Amino acid sequence: MPPEAAPPSPAAAKKPAKKKAAAPAKKAVPLEAKLARLGLRTDMDLVLHLPMRYEDETQVVTIQEACLHGGETSQVEGIVTKNEIAYKPRRQLLVHIDDGTGDLQLRFMNFYGSQVKQLAEGTRVRARGELKHGFFGAEMVHPHYKIVNAGAPLPTSLTPVYPAGEGLPQHVMRKAIADAMKRVDWTDTLPPRLLERLELDNFEPSVRLLHNPPPDVDTYTLLDRSHPAWTRMKFDELLAQQLSLKRAQKARRAKGSPPLSVIGELSAQFQQALPFKLTGAQQRVLDEIRADISQPFPMQRLLQGDVGAGKTVVAALAAAQAIDSGYQAALMAPTEILADQHFRKIAAWMEPLGVKVAWLTGSLTKKNKAAATQLVETGEARLVIGTHAIIQDTVQFANLGLVIVDEQHRFGVGQRLTLRNKGNENAVPHQLMMSATPIPRTLAMTYYADLEVSVIDELPPGRSPIVTRAIDQNRRDEVIERVHAAALEGRQVYWVCPLIEESEALQLQTATETHALLAEALPDLNVGLVHGKLKPAEKQAVMDAFAANDMQVLVATTVIEVGVDVPNASLMVIEHAERFGLSQLHQLRGRVGRGSAASVCLLLYQSPLGGVAKQRLMTMRETTDGFEIARRDLEIRGPGEFLGARQSGQAMLRFADLETDTWLVDRARDVASALLKDEKYLPVVEGHLERWLGGREEFLKV
Ligand code: ADP
Ligand code: MG
């Protein structure tokens, strides 16, 4: 049997003529080390390293038919009619095959000398790859190929393709996994009765089937992962995650927290002094929070509410309760602008009631910082508002009872954890996290199993809906006209500059240029500019002028993305909207529609639009509902980005899909609760966690 030719590795490509040259490099990094890089350390790790997909080599189509499905992967078989090394401009091997229905070029940029001989004219080749219609007709670039005899049988089962890494070709992965399968302990971690009740297959046959699908398997269910064998894997994975999270929750609950049960004078006065009445939804979630923080164990609650729903005041009322109960509260925000806005607003509410509020950010002078730190340490400041400067080592709290994290998704897990550890030795502060980027229910459930969620699902009264339009950027003049008209009517306008991820300098330059351009086009208006490189005081001056309506147009980078609250602004222009993600667009748009005036958001785009960008802009036009937007976002780009720092954990779900496997999440959750309730299941729990998480459980604990 002729050997299967693996595509040459880049290392080999440097010395195309000497196949042996690759050998010493291989020795340098032992197989175990290469596998370890993929997190594969134990035999069970390898066994649970399941194929990410399968290749269907069970069929051969004619070249003619393959040509009809250009762009798709197919397998063809033909006789080599031409074999030449061309220089156009790079040295490459061009091989033509013919099967009687048509001609196909196989192109190899990197190749061994032996391959040139192997693919001599007259040889029969089976090639598999993506067929493209190139300038010189149909071709496959770097196809997988095999030299075969006429009538050579096709494989009868699908070929597994494993997630692999450098120096780990598929055949090496296959062998390593097959070897590991011979050594592991296959005992099922779950009791037979449970499996029966859940209608789940046994562990061993499921794993074996996924590595080596038998010829009669329903291919479709294997590929879309709905096969019962996959279901078992997904369930096991989700169960491990739920068990781990719930155990962490239990451990946390075992710690004490100060019961913040006094709803006293401050709370009452504060609520009375508010210029508005809380909405029903605000009152409801406030009651939930009040009940939680009155308990002697830590609250861990996420307060979700769409942009503009009024989360700040709820958080401030929770802080008031902490203060009434004799404890301190801290509020941390991700940007200086936002922290500052919170500080002004909340201090204006609270200081007249006799509460000292401290302000703490990285940009304070040494002296001011020391003074603020002192206020926090002595307990004179009952409330501390700031950026992540709050969590620095030098800051010691007198008696921290409640931690509030605004726009929590902007912080890493580590930062949130540090703030929580700022309590006294035996008392963990209660924790309230806020986010306008809604975490879809399934995600909240899987990644924050021990997180309670409160939702403000109602906007304050009198808001008018935001109309969103997508406009080609070559109509910019019309847009500038609209900006002018809005300003003349007394409204204010945000003009958001394009996101340039690769270069902050370029982003800054664009913002400066846009500002100059608009200032020139609108000479009768005051056009301001705010960006991340301004000094805090300068930033503040600009924001103040805008808030006071001394400035009609504010050109801004994404520094205004979260939290900024100027209700009179009712027109937002976002340039190069196609470069922004959905949640970012939604956050930006949330800066308008905060007052009673009808608001408009114009998404300028540069055509032609790619598919994903088009979907995003369409979503923005169709809905202003943050939850719907989050759901579609999850659909478009998958769960990774919602999780922030958490995605670095190896504990990310590998098999379960949160969109399609919600029902399994529910089950895993129930089973986890049941297993943890009864001591007698402890061995089951431990065994299952060991198999699925090994030493990686820590990742899930924060
Ligand atoms: P977000 O939930 O996006 O953080 P904010 O807390 O910034 O929203 O509130 C948005 C605006 O709505 C603020 O100007 C706030 O004072 C105002 N607001 C909050 N609650 C109410 C209410 N019940 N009635 C009227 N206005 C409210
Ligand atoms: Mg907010």
Question: End of a domain among 154, 175, 210?
Answer: 154
Residue of 408, 466, 565 with the most ligand 1 atoms within 8 Å of its CB, for mutation: 565
**What is the CA(434)–ligand 2 centre distance, in A?**
8
> Considering only 9-13, 505-509, 584-588, which range has the smallest mean pLDDT?
9-13
Q: What is the pLDDT of residues 485-527, one digit of tens each?
A: 999 999 999 999 887 666 777 777 888 999 999 999 999 999 9
Are residue 670 and residue 532 in the same domain, yes or no?
A: no
If you measure from the C-alpha of residue 44 to the centroid of ligand 2, how many angstroms do you get, rounded to a whole number? 46
206 and 276 inside one domain: no
The answer as to whether 364 is a domain residue is: yes
| CATH code for position 74 | 2.40.50.140
Could you tell me if 139 and 196 lie in one domain?
A: no
Give the range with max mean pLDDT: 101-115, 196-210, 396-410: 196-210
Task: Judge whether 336 lies within some domain.
Answer: yes
- Regarding predicted confidence, which is higher, 259 or 625? 259
Pocket lined around ligand 1, Cβ cut-off 6 Å? 276, 278-279, 282, 305, 307-313, 436, 460, 565, 567, 594
What pLDDT, on the 0 to 100 scale, is given for residue 695? 57
Of 133, 154, 175, the domain-final residue:
154
- Which atom from ligand 1 is nearest to the alpha carbon of 278? 23
CB 237 within 8 A of CB 655: yes
pLDDT at residue 8 in the model: 42
**HSE on the CB side for 280, CA within 13 Å?**
2
Give the Å distance between the CA of 307 and the centre of ligand 1.
9
Distance (Å) of CA 517 to CA 149, 422, 432, 509, 555: 70, 48, 43, 12, 11
Bridge partners for 223 per DSSP: none
- In this structure, of 153-157, 379-383, 672-676, 698-702, the range with the lowest mean pLDDT score is 698-702
Q: Which ligand is nearest to the CA of 591?
A: 1
402 in a structural domain: yes
- Asked, for residue 95, whether it belongs to a domain, the answer is yes
Instruction: Report the nearest atom of ligand 1 relative to the CA of 456.
Output: 2
| Residue among 285, 313, 385, 408 to mutate when testing ligand 1 (max atoms within 8 A of CB) | 313
Residues 273 and 240 occupy one common structural domain: no
Pair (483, 606) in one structural domain: yes
Which ligand is in closest contact with the Cα of 334? 2
Residue 220's pLDDT band (boundaries 50, 70, 90)? Answer: confident
Query: Going by CA atoms, what residue is nearest to atom 16 of ligand 1?
Result: 310
**Residue 256, in any domain of the structure:** no
Give the residue from 259, 262, 261 showing the smallest Cα distance to 427.
Answer: 259
Report the pLDDT value the prediction gives residue 250, as an integer from 0 to 100.
79
Number of compact structural domains in the chain: 4
Distance (Å, rounded) from C-alpha 77 to C-alpha 148?
9
Is residue 644 in a domain? Answer: no
Q: Within a domain: residue 669?
A: yes
Answer whether residue 170 shows pLDDT above 70: yes
β-strands 569-574, 527-530: how paired?
A: unpaired
CA-wise closest residue to 386 among 400, 404, 366, 371 = 404
Q: Which of 164, 193, 214, 167 is nearest to 51 (CA)?
A: 164
CA angle, residues 656, 659, 660, in degrees to nearest 5 = 70
Report CA(344)–ligand 2 centroid distance (Å). Answer: 14
More confident: 39 or 179? 179
CATH code: domain of residue 343: 3.40.50.300
Measured from the Cα of 406, ligand 1's closest atom is 4
User: Which residue's CA lies nearest to atom 14 of ligand 1?
Assistant: 565
Are 80 and 203 part of one and the same domain? Answer: no
At 79-131, the pLDDT tens digits run 999 999 988 778 899 999 999 999 999 999 888 888 899 999 999 999 998 88
Distance 620 CA to ligand 1 centre (A): 22
Selected residue with higher pLDDT from 416 and 664: 664
Same domain, 66 and 196: no
Ranges assigned E (strand) in 352-422: 357-360, 383-386, 400-405
| Nearest ligand to residue 313 Cα | 1
Which of 623, 647, 679 corresponds to the end of one domain?
Answer: 623
Nearest CA to ligand 1 atom 12: 310
Residue 629 in domain: no
Read off the pLDDT band of 625 (50, 70, 90).
Answer: confident
Domain match, 326 and 471 both:
no
Mean pLDDT of 653-662: 76
Q: In this structure, which residue's CA is closest to atom 13 in ligand 1?
A: 310
* Closest by CA position to 427, among listed 294, 256, 298: 256
**Both 486 and 541 in a single domain?**
yes
pTM of the model: 0.64
Q: What is the dihedral of CA 610, 627, 298, 696, to 10 degrees?
A: -40
Ligand 1 atom nearest the C-alpha of 590 is 3
pLDDT in tens, 457-484: 888 887 778 899 999 999 999 999 999 9
| More confident call, 282 vs 393 | 282
Domain of 576? 466-623
Q: Are residues 419 and 551 in the same domain?
A: no
Residue nearest to atom 22 of ligand 1 (CA): 460
Same domain for 434 and 475? no
pLDDT of 563 over the 90 cut: no
On whether the CB atoms of residues 401 and 328 are closer than 8 A, the answer is yes
Pair 333, 357 in one domain: yes
